[in-house]
Structure 1
């Protein structure tokens, strides 16, 4: 249980309905061990209203955790504004910035966050290594007790190769952040091309605050998994908005939280662009997607998962 502070048991956590499973599953585990968790709803673009956060804070709130950018839609939350609300009530603020680091400029001092997490594989670093930023003065319990490695936070021999790889990846990400303008132009071209193929296609996310490399679109009536498989055979890699690919019949929890129906969520496609992509590949993707949509042999219209 969270320790007593000023005579009040601080055991209330606030997060959102669109967080990554690493956060949501942890919160659910904490609920089973005596914590109370408030899952704030977001609007149809995937953005959190700061007023909702302000209303949810109580005298028992000890932590707020809100992702900077959603991993499925790329929608960006107004973290700095949310942190200001937390500071007014003396509540710690954590932000999952895994999806945003390397794609948009991030300054922990400007944001004012107390805790920030990032992962190496999202910025061309090695898999299996990440980093936790801890603001000065914040005291945490060690993840693993024993030795004094990692400033006493995680005992055991350090993953030197992973640490060096993450550091180099972060260094290169800073140098290449300007290239995101080129990636954004490719993303916009891809969105426009999809709309030309299917006028009723709908973008999932906040067009006014979106990561430059992420595009999530629903193609009404067309099962996303079928498109993923068909394009994979043509050398195009993308993902579906559904969890069916993992053996689960449930659609994306984030898309459902944004107000999409189960059918709309199952018909969603997620495109992630990177430094290695070229405009010619975007045009090829649009052409091949058009072929898949028009090809009745490969086309699979939406039917519920069984």
Structure 2
């Protein structure tokens, strides 16, 4: 009997910023930048700003198409937000991009006071949300949803894939008021086209039904949840997936309707700290309405996360497809 163990490929430093797409998965390149550039051809009020990160938020495509409406603010996120607010006051619809850690943590007071208090029409679109980089706590925005949910007037969006980003860009531009949208950039997975999906602000969508488990998810974790549902089907475990792209305002009606169906384990899955995100929002909605299913959460811990290769970190913190599948099997036993 052989005692040899199968070795996984050695991961290099590039895996710290690897695409979140699985090997062989369908992707679309730069959906945000392309969608915004296209929208700006129809709407002369659309302008784009960034804090030294045009290439890394795909805003460079907008800059190439509309150089007279692109503003490079340098490494100054507070100035970025303040300038976006000023442009909004003059009748423009600014889309401001940076990394989520910088856009939310460094510029929080400016978002709160300059943009949200006056309900200005600023769209803050931030890359590297949650655990989508391996560069440690300085770049991992694991608390951005909690911060943005706490601000009055702020709509909060966590899109799943390239299709949803393409659809969300004109939708949030049409919304009057500030929006925070998590941004997936580069080679972005494409999954929701298989489910005849259409993004609607403020609406959750049941992507697949299941009698054993209901996964309530957003963003990257919706893609993982769909993969988990397919994996567990081989074990005759029937998993439903309710995608909740709008974290605020929350579609409580749809969540309550699905969560109160009898006999299912309800699990909220999110690429965010266990503190203050979708899980707490859903739990509060259930408790306030007296709906009490078997309830669990898959989320990032209340901790400063490690640096390292993304596949390793996703396994370590329980948000990879294999880790999520193992967790659900354990809870169902």
Range class of TM-score, shorter chain: 0.3 to 0.5
| TM-score between the two structures when normalised by the length of structure 2 | 0.35
The one of the two structures with greater contact order (alpha-carbon pairs below 8 A, sep at least 6) is: 2
| TM-score between the two structures when normalised by the length of structure 1 | 0.37
Q: Kindly name which structure, 1 or 2, has the bigger radius of gyration based on alpha carbons.
A: 1
Q: Kindly indicate which of the two structures has a greater share of residues assigned to strand.
A: 2
